[in-house]
Amino acid sequence: MLSHGSVLLFCLVIGALPVLAQAPQGWVDNPTAVPILRTIRAIPVSSDQEAESQDVARESLMSLALPGWGQHEQGKNRKWFFAVLEVAAWAFFWEREAAGARLRDRYRDFAWAEARFHSVARADADFDYYETLTKWTRSGAFDANPARSGVQPETDGTSFNGSIWELAVNMFLASGGSGEGDPDHVRALEFYKERAYGPGFLWDWSGLPDGQQRLAGLISESDDRFRQATTMIGVVIANHVISAVDAFLVARGASSLGLLEFEPRRGPRGIGWSAQFTLLLGS
């Protein structure tokens, strides 16, 4: 998922480029001139200046829309860097998304084949359900006595459903003495029904001691792939913004632009990549 900061930066660049295009020609090479942008003045603009400003904005927005496009208009060979990075980032994104989806199917299939009860047709659940399967060996029954009318909660506290009923008892029946039909008992039963897993989602790992570890490993691998895909979206956004800034600076006659560096780094979940862009203003 994209951070709010990334989206905000993207929007600020889009909004700022047309305004910056009206800035004096020398502000890029003379950072002390930048405060003039904070003063709003009515300055006559010649047709040549207006055309130049339009070119600056146009080339910047072209690169913002498609990295390298503005550089192509400017005749700069580094257009290939931005273009290749864009293609590579999207290719890696889709590959990681597909890999994450395949691993998600694998851990769902594994849980169904090795732990879940087949008394009803298969129905896959959300991510939290499979996370729960890695933490609890047994779900326990949903209705401990189907022969009786209504739902008789699981009472074995070592199972997931049993722990839910214990929590409901502590919350609503702590004083004791409440029988079926009592308002407190009804509330406890509703709490249990909302949070316990029903007949279609019961499980038991007792016959496969290492099953939970194997499931957890598949889930972790799937998460890693999806996380890497999300990282590529950040790379794509950065590529658009940096390409736009580069095109803007070239159009304004900057003598030095910037330096983009990538390097591998080891994080808590394995090897990743970090990127650093250094913007150089002036000679």
> Quick one: 86 and 121 in the same domain?
no
> Quick one: 81 and 137 in the same domain?
no
> Quick one: 82 and 136 in the same domain?
no
Provide the domain count of the chain: 2
The 10s digit of each residue's pLDDT in 73-120 is 988 888 999 999 999 999 999 999 999 999 999 999 999 999 999 988
**At which of 171, 191, 207 does a domain end?**
207
pLDDT of 260: 56
d(CA 183, CA 177): 12
* Average pLDDT over every residue of 188-194: 96
Helix residue ranges, H only, the chain: 4-20, 47-65, 69-73, 79-114, 127-133, 160-172, 183-195, 211-251
pLDDT of 58: 87
Q: Examine the pLDDT at 124 and tell me if it is beyond 70.
A: yes
Residue 226 lies in a domain: no
Q: Is 16 exposed, middle or buried (0-12, 13-18, 19+ CB in 10 A)?
A: middle
Give the chain's radius of gyration (CA, Å). 30
> Quick one: 76 and 125 in the same domain?
no
Greater model confidence, 146 or 257 = 146
Yes or no: say if 34 and 262 are a contact pair by the CB < 8 Å rule. Answer: no
Residue 267 lies in a domain: no
Closest CA to 195 of 231, 167, 230: 167
The 10s digit of each residue's pLDDT in 164-176 is 999 999 999 887 6
Share of the chain above pLDDT 70, in %: 70
DSSP secondary structure, 220-249, as one string:
HHHHHHHHHHHHHHHHHHHHHHHHHHHHHH
| Structural domain span for residue 89 | 4-93+234-257
Residue 145 lies in a domain: yes
> Quick one: 54 and 123 in the same domain?
no
> Quick one: 76 and 148 in the same domain?
no
The whole-model pTM stands at 0.70
Mean pLDDT for the chain overall: 81
The token pair at 107 is 């851990």
> Quick one: 66 and 123 in the same domain?
no
> Quick one: 63 and 18 in the same domain?
yes
Q: Examine the pLDDT at 280 and tell me if it is beyond 80.
A: no
154-179 burial: b if 16+ Cβ within 10 Å, else e: beeeebbbbbbbbebbeebbeeeebe
> Quick one: 136 and 60 in the same domain?
no
pLDDT of 249: 87
Q: What is the DSSP letter of 203?
A: B
Q: Examine the pLDDT at 20 and tell me if it is beyond 80.
A: no
Residue 222 lies in a domain: no
Q: Examine the pLDDT at 251 and tell me if it is beyond 90.
A: no
Residue 32 lies in a domain: yes
pLDDT of 60: 87
> Quick one: 202 and 129 in the same domain?
yes
> Quick one: 128 and 177 in the same domain?
yes
Closest CA to 216 of 96, 127, 102: 127
Residue 161 lies in a domain: yes
> Quick one: 16 and 49 in the same domain?
yes
**At which of 141, 172, 207 does a domain end?**
207
Residue 213 lies in a domain: no
Residue 242 lies in a domain: yes
Q: Examine the pLDDT at 35 and tell me if it is beyond 50.
A: no
